Amino acid sequence: MLYEKALRSKKNVEALIERISQLKVGRRKIMEVCGTHTYAFFRFGLRKLLSCYVDFISGPGCPVCITTDSYIKKALILAEDKKNVIATFGDLLRVRTRSGSLEDMRAKGADIRMVYSPLDAFLIAKKNKRKRIIFLSVGFETTAPLIAATIKQAKSEKVDNYFILCGNRLIPPAMRTLCEDKDIRIDGFICPGHVSAIIGVRPYRDIARKYKKGCVVCGFEPVDIVWSLYLLLKQIKEKTPKVENTYTRVVKTGGNRRAQELLKEIFYVDDASWRGLGVIKKSGLFLHKKFSQFDAEKLVTKNVEESSLPKGCRCGEVIKGKIKPYECSQFGKRCSPNSPLGPCMVSFEGACRIYFEYGRGI
């Protein structure tokens, strides 16, 4: 309780802001990679409070936002088969493609169930042996170990009706892609706390070294955030880009070794498609041959082509941090959380949705 009080203390936040003001480095573009940070910035009013020092750019760390149309279309094809039950996190249901959404399919009678964890999907598979249970496996390094654990369990218990549709992505390759895009100017990164709990801080080192962008691994409380921003701005002032970690109560330098080993055992890393960012080298997790019996990809019976976003939707640019959500002409007009046009308005971690819920911030 005391700990939480200190991390939310107004006095501490004000003292750190005073230190930021003394750095005098001008207004810098800082990307928060993770949607949970975007949410925290708004929730605690930090965006407004720090607007004269930081131009906050939301990054690609919302799983629903970066999942491609072709992935959802494959899920729609799988949902057509009466033998299949689709198990998914709720947000994916509402993402529209030109072939409709999973929510539409469910309204037409497809067996699509919302789950809170891959373990729920695995248990549904164990109880419904006559059906094929397909878990829509999206997300980043945070959710992937639990998914890997269900695959390992399915193999050892010989559960042959459990499948996953591989769509997990890795954050550091996406950050490198953003650094290489000459149209995007980022002065530093607030690195995702949950992802870093798994991967540790080392994977960010080449971003600091090669691209000269500071990286600070950060928690989600106001003092965590303002302290991290101070360190980033100090790095900029001193021209010493490096990796720092202010979330040491959760993130260890080497990350979670057991989770990393489990990921290596079940998945291999290969090139993968991201909405807005295209194909990124070595950025996706796919099942090793030894576990290919659980791969739902082989159950997809039709060819699927990538299609563009709905007309007028600029999610691709929002995901890259090229525009702010309110710069999209559909924001708050044809597109709102009740009727999302693009994926960034669907999830609680989507930049458009957060901006909509909390106002423009700045």
The three-point CA angle 362-96-119 to 5° equals 95
> Smallest distance from the beta carbon of 355 to ligand SF4, in angstroms?
8
One of 7, 331, 349, 354 touching ligand SF4 (CB under 6 A): 331
> Smallest distance from the beta carbon of 242 to ligand SF4, in angstroms?
34
Determine if 118 is a binding residue for ligand SF4 (CB under 6 A): no
> Smallest distance from the beta carbon of 316 to ligand SF4, in angstroms?
8
Q: Which region, judged by CB under 6 A, interacts with ligand SF4, from 42-50, 93-101, 158-166, 324-332?
A: 324-332
How far is it, in rounded angstroms, from Cα 57 to Cα 70? 27
> Smallest distance from the beta carbon of 359 to ligand SF4, in angstroms?
14
One of 64, 79, 87, 341 touching ligand SF4 (CB under 6 A): 341
For ligand SF4, give the closer residue by CB, 84 or 330: 330
Cα separation values, 317 from 73, 120, 198, 249, 360, Å: 22, 34, 28, 34, 17
Please, is 311 exposed, middle or buried when counting C-beta atoms within 10 Å of its C-beta (0-12, 13-18, 19+)? Answer: exposed
Q: Which region, judged by CB under 6 A, interacts with ligand SF4, from 47-55, 66-74, 151-159, 337-345?
A: 337-345
Q: What residue has token string 């950025």?
A: 283
Instruction: Give the H/E segment covering residue 102.
Output: helix 102-107
Q: In sequence order, which residues have a C-beta less than 8 Å from that of residue 113 and are 6 or more positions away? A: 85, 86, 87, 88, 124
- Name the 3-class secondary structure at 217: strand
Question: 327 is written with which tokens?
Answer: 């710069």
**Which residue's C-beta sits nearest to ligand SF4?**
342
> Smallest distance from the beta carbon of 357 to ligand SF4, in angstroms?
12
Q: Which region, judged by CB under 6 A, interacts with ligand SF4, from 140-148, 222-230, 277-285, 344-352?
A: 344-352
Q: Are 352 and 324 in contact (CB under 8 A)?
A: no
> Smallest distance from the beta carbon of 343 to ligand SF4, in angstroms?
7
For ligand SF4, give the closer residue by CB, 138 or 345: 345
Q: Are 246 and 217 in contact (CB under 8 A)?
A: yes
Residue type, 139: G
Alpha helices in 273-337 (DSSP H): 315-320
Residues 33-72 that bind ligand SF4 (CB under 6 A): none
Q: What is the DSSP letter of 244?
A: E
Question: 96 is written with which tokens?
Answer: 């529209």
Question: Pattern 186-205, binding to ligand SF4, x per CB under 6 A?
Answer: --------------------
Determine if 344 is a binding residue for ligand SF4 (CB under 6 A): yes
Residue 139, beta-bridge partner list = 168
How far is it, in rounded angstroms, from Cα 136 to Cα 72? 9
Residues 300-319 that bind ligand SF4 (CB under 6 A): 313-315, 318
For ligand SF4, give the closer residue by CB, 60 or 222: 60
Q: Are 164 and 137 in contact (CB under 8 A)?
A: yes
> Smallest distance from the beta carbon of 342 to ligand SF4, in angstroms?
3
How far is it, in rounded angstroms, from Cα 314 to Cα 319? 9
One of 345, 347, 349, 354 touching ligand SF4 (CB under 6 A): 345
For ligand SF4, give the closer residue by CB, 99 or 336: 336
For ligand SF4, give the closer residue by CB, 284 or 342: 342
> Smallest distance from the beta carbon of 280 to ligand SF4, in angstroms?
20
One of 328, 347, 349, 354 touching ligand SF4 (CB under 6 A): 328
Determine if 335 is a binding residue for ligand SF4 (CB under 6 A): yes
For ligand SF4, give the closer residue by CB, 15 or 362: 362
For ligand SF4, give the closer residue by CB, 232 or 352: 352
Q: Roughly how many angstroms between the first and final C-alpha of the chain, as a whole number?
A: 32
Please, is 48 exposed, middle or buried when counting C-beta atoms within 10 Å of its C-beta (0-12, 13-18, 19+)? Answer: middle
**Where does this chain bind ligand SF4 (CB under 6 A)?**
313-315, 318, 325, 328, 330-331, 335, 341-342, 344-345, 352
